[in-house]
A and B are shown apart, each in its own frame.
Chain A
Amino acid sequence: MHRAFFAAFLASTVLAGGAQADDGLKDRTIGYVLINKAYATWQTPDGKKECPQGFNHGPREQFKELFEGVTDKFAETQLAYEAEIAFPGTAPETRTFFREAQGPMAFGLNLDGKVGPNDFVSPEGEKGIDHQMYRVVGCTENYRGPDGSARHFIESYMQKFNYNRWLLELADVDSLANDDDVTVTISRGLDPLATDAAGQFASGGTQRVDTRRGREFIYTMKGRIVDGVLTTTPTDITFPESQQRGFPYQSVHAWRARLKLTPEGASGLMAGYMDVERWYHNLPQQWSTHHRSYGAEPMPSQYRAAVRLADGYPDASGKNTAISTAWEVRFAQALIMHPDEPKTVAGKGVKTDVAR
């Protein structure tokens, strides 16, 4: 980008007085950058309440269950298991056993506005919580906090690699406390996360919007702020999620966020119906069987569960294609630069596996 452009841009953005207002708003806007993201996994310390049958077996255990005693048959064992990972079926498992998270409690949002028989209750008592993905990942050590391997690495790669940089910008904001009509734009950033003297992610860093290769990740929606909590209107989005392997993304129907806002950051939940095929396409692509063994993650079994538990967006045959999912997220305030006018995509349909 041309230096003169940035110089002109900077000159136009500073407040008279050279300082941002104390409420963090500048020209009625405030920006944030994602610094933490993980599946919102409700869990008890020993896991016995939500996982009464114990935690899931991973690839090594499943391999033993499937091929115990079979030797010298590479194609029928190792390759067969890899083939199952790459092309999982949906027929019920016979020799392996998948443990879904049990019970009525889960973090998440009420995505459909209804209270159904399979819905959860939030720890705060909110009914109608839609989060079937919790049943898929809740009893897999890879995703349990605070140190599940996949949980750690998904977040770590999100933080380290600019490909995954997520920006959230609020415009037309009268107050971070209450405003019933704000404009929310999500996009991809180009810059590393700012850190402070202790190495913690800090507010106040700059993020440039990626309007070139990140154009497909720009979405604009409406939102409202009530008592400092932002709720956005449901919008179909895709967002980048890579562990430095390929350029994968997730597609989420009716995505929305519920975030407590402060001038320094935002935190809370985001949720929506995640496209099952897109999700599973990423899963083995991002991490090998070897890596999935870190946290005992049985990918073929997870696929079967996700298909079975999918609860939204049925296709022509009536089969649900998306599964309700919630993430806990934390953002740091950031100063967002728009190098040129972004072409926003409002309410765009879910992505398919088209090469990007």
Chain B
Amino acid sequence: MAHFTRKALRGSGFGVAAAALLMGCSAPSQKAETPATQASAIAEPANDGSAKRLRVLTEAQYLNTLAHVFGPDVKTEPHFPPAQRYDGLLALGSARGGVGGAQLELYQKAAVVVAGLITNPERRGYLMPCKPADEKAADRACANQFLAYTGRLLSRGALTPTEIAGFTETASTSAASLKDFYAGLGIALEAMLVSPKILFVAERAEPDPKAPGQMRLDAVSLATRLSLFLWNAAPDDAVLKAAESGEILTPKGRARVVNMMLASPRIETGMRAFFDDMFAFDDFSTLAKDPKIYPAFTGVTAQDAREETLRTVIDHLITKNGDYRDLFTTRETFISPALAAMYKLPAPPNWTPYTFPEGAPRSGILTQISFLAVHSHPGRSSPTLRGKALREILLCQPVPSPPPNVDFSAVENPNSPIKTARERINIHQKNPACAGCHKIMDPMGLALENFDSVGRYRDTEKGEKIDASGTLDGKPFQDVVGLGKVLHDHPSLTSCLVKRAYSYSTGQPTKPSDKEKLEFINARFAASGYKLPDLLRTITLSNAFSRIIETPAPAKTASADVAGATAK
């Protein structure tokens, strides 16, 4: 374990402080140390947590919640507008910007569809807890029962009696007017589904009785933050019960809830959403390749490439509880027929586990088609795009934008006598204005040059043998397999995941004052052997996750009115 720890701390951007913490805390132990015991011995430094946020529920969170409450067949295609990526995550964008009229219309359209599906004769029998006395008339008691029950699950907490009464009144008035109980109920449900209480996640804070002068998330807000992070959906009945009883506010109760959530199959959905966001896989929605150059790359290939990497991540990190760093060296993956054609492998229908043999150039998720294809041009590979993406996505190292007057003619000339990407890119190295950034992007990207724009393996480019060797921050490698190994041991690889996971969990970017919190989480992550479930447990059980920094009230604006109304 010492090896683990030293390596992890050496690799951490906050290594020295974390090492001191570790040595100080783990030495007295009499028991045989395991990663878990060693990790738990690292104490969280005093910290003020994060700010409370007002976020818009994402489309995936909306759909996941509907599926959990009403079943997977109650689904719609709402096409909510995507959030803007901020500080590496879309999740942070959902806490920025407002909601326009066009967006509200999308919410309303989705609500109409969902209400129709739920009150449909095929479903009402098992989705409704009661039957109206007369289907052609209002039934206030039955409507109240249904709306109170579903309202609690959809709104991530019990509705107030006033709110329930309002929705019940809508259902009753509409049913009486339409002479149809279910039509009336549908209108009330539609109103509920577009209510700010469902569409906006407004966190609330309360004084922490165990830390006078400090604030913490209230029980329901804590349950919601946990659920959106771990499941990418609203909390279910069990989590809400733990919140409503106050159990979730006790260390033991919160640990029980977190362990229950980590043990649920929904953790896979939640972590798929996190890694899809962290890896910027929303770029797949606009991915296109020139069909004349790459006829084998179809829409199905792109879809399956994204799925391949997410399957690999979930299988390695959740199912097998593997070391996060090994994702960049593992030869295990999953293939579909569409991907098999790209890998030149046979594959039966559906998904099949597959292990690339030793000696094959495919090693780690960087060599999967997803990264290779997304970070390339439509008609050719791009060491620069790939290198930039890997720096920013995996190492959390932002690369400055290029100057506006870059001359691309030398690299984009299709009739250029220059044969390989390495030769083309060397042109940048000769220009001091370009060299600064290209030095940090290109070596990683050039290591992936054995893969073309759609991720197919190649030895040569225009007849010239490809040289995939290079260095990453001083560590040399010969090829992409070597890059994976260097990346595996790169200090920023794990600290970047920690930074992203913590940001994602709280819905806000990290800031310099978060240094000690991140050091603590990094140290725990390292001590656990870089296991994702342990990282999730560390974050969700920390004060950094639940403690709230009181911020001054924002100036009153139209959007603040919405937030205020929601948070009340």
Contacts and interface: CB of A to CB of B under 8 A. Distances in A.
A335 interface: yes
A3 B346 CA distance: 13
B146 interface: no
A18 B355 CA distance: 10
B345 A197 contact: no
Contact of B353 (A3, A198, A335, A336): A3
A114 B153 CA distance: 84
A197 B352 contact: no
Interface stretch (B170-178, B358-366, B393-401): B358-366
Contacts of A200: 295
Most buried by A among B295, B296, B346, B356: B346
A18 B343 CA distance: 7
A347 B354 CA distance: 38
A266 to B, nearest CB: 18
A191 B337 contact: yes
A197 B359 contact: no
B167 interface: no
B354 A18 contact: no
Interface string B310-352: 0000000000000000000000000101001111111111001
A204 B361 contact: no
Interface in A302-352: 335-337
Interface string A98-109: 000000000000
A202 B342 CA distance: 11
Given A10-B345, A337-B348, A19 B297 contact: no
Contact of A7 (B289, B298, B354, B358): B354
Interface string A3-39: 1001101110110111110000000000000000000
Contact of A11 (B291, B298, B354): B354
Contacts of B362: 18
A196 B352 contact: no
A18 B356 contact: yes
Interface string A58-84: 000000000000000000000000000
Contact of B341 (A3, A14, A194): A194
B346 A196 contact: no
B457 interface: yes
A11 B355 CA distance: 6
A206 B341 contact: yes
B302 to A, nearest CB: 10
A205 B337 contact: yes
Most buried by B among A7, A204, A336: A204
Contacts of B291: 196-198
Contact of B361 (A3, A18, A194): A18
A195 B296 CA distance: 8
A16 B345 contact: no
B357 interface: yes
B457 A19 contact: yes
B457 A18 contact: yes
B346 to A, nearest CB: 4
Nearest to B299: A197
A12 to B, nearest CB: 9
A335 B360 contact: no
Given A200-B295, A335-B346, A7 B352 contact: yes
A206 B346 contact: yes
B289 A16 contact: no
A30 to B, nearest CB: 12
Given A6-B352, A206-B347, A195 B360 contact: no
B348 A17 contact: no
Contacts of A20: 344
Instruction: Give the interface residue-count category, chain A.
Output: 20 to 34
Contacts of B360: 14, 16-18
Given A18-B360, A196-B291, A197-B298, A7 B355 contact: yes
B347 A10 contact: yes
Given A191-B349, A337-B346, A198 B295 contact: yes
Interface string B260-297: 00000000000000000000000000000101001111
B112 to A, nearest CB: 36
A17 B457 CA distance: 9
A150 to B, nearest CB: 30
Nearest to A202: B296
A100 B335 CA distance: 53
A14 B340 CA distance: 11
Nearest to A20: B344
A206 B346 CA distance: 5
A1 B357 contact: no
A35 B297 CA distance: 19
B295 A202 contact: yes
Nearest to A21: B344
Interface in B62-117: none
Contacts of A204: 296, 340-342, 344
B512 to A, nearest CB: 44
B320 to A, nearest CB: 15
Given A3-B352, A206-B340, A335-B345, A197 B294 contact: yes
Contact of B346 (A13, A195, A198): A13
Contact of B354 (A1, A10, A196): A10
Contacts of A17: 359-361, 457
Given A18-B361, A206-B337, A336 B346 contact: yes
Contacts of B342: 204
Given A16-B357, A191-B337, A335-B340, A196 B347 contact: no
A205 to B, nearest CB: 6
A10 B295 contact: no
Contacts of A9: 346
B296 A14 contact: no
A208 B348 contact: yes
Given A206-B340, A206-B341, A335-B346, A18 B357 contact: yes
B343 A202 contact: no
Contacts of A18: 343-344, 356-357, 360-362, 457
Given A194-B341, A197-B295, A205-B337, A14 B357 contact: yes
Contacts of B296: 196-197, 202, 204
A194 B352 CA distance: 18
Given A16-B360, A17-B360, A10 B344 contact: no
Given A3-B353, A7-B355, A14-B357, A19 B344 contact: yes
Contacts of B353: 3, 7
A13 B358 CA distance: 13
A130 to B, nearest CB: 37
Interface string A195-221: 111101010111010000000000000
Contacts of B299: 197
A194 B298 CA distance: 11
Contacts of A208: 348
A11 B344 contact: no
Contacts of B346: 9-10, 13, 206, 335-337
A196 B361 CA distance: 25
A291 B354 CA distance: 48
B298 A195 contact: yes
Interface string A30-62: 000000000000000000000000000000000
18 contacts: A1-B348, A7-B354, A10-B335, A11-B354, A14-B345, A16-B358, A17-B360, A18-B344, A18-B361, A191-B337, A196-B296, A197-B298, A202-B295, A204-B341, A204-B344, A206-B341, A206-B347, A335-B340
> Top 9 closest A-B pairs, CB basis?
A18-B360, A335-B346, A197-B291, A196-B295, A204-B341, A16-B359, A20-B344, A206-B346, A19-B457
Interface of A: 1, 3, 6-7, 9-11, 13-14, 16-20, 191, 194-198, 200, 202, 204-206, 208, 335-337
Given A6-B352, A196-B298, A335-B345, 18 more contacts: A1-B348, A3-B352, A10-B335, A13-B345, A14-B356, A17-B359, A18-B356, A19-B457, A197-B289, A197-B291, A197-B294, A197-B295, A197-B296, A197-B299, A335-B340, A335-B347, A336-B346, A337-B348
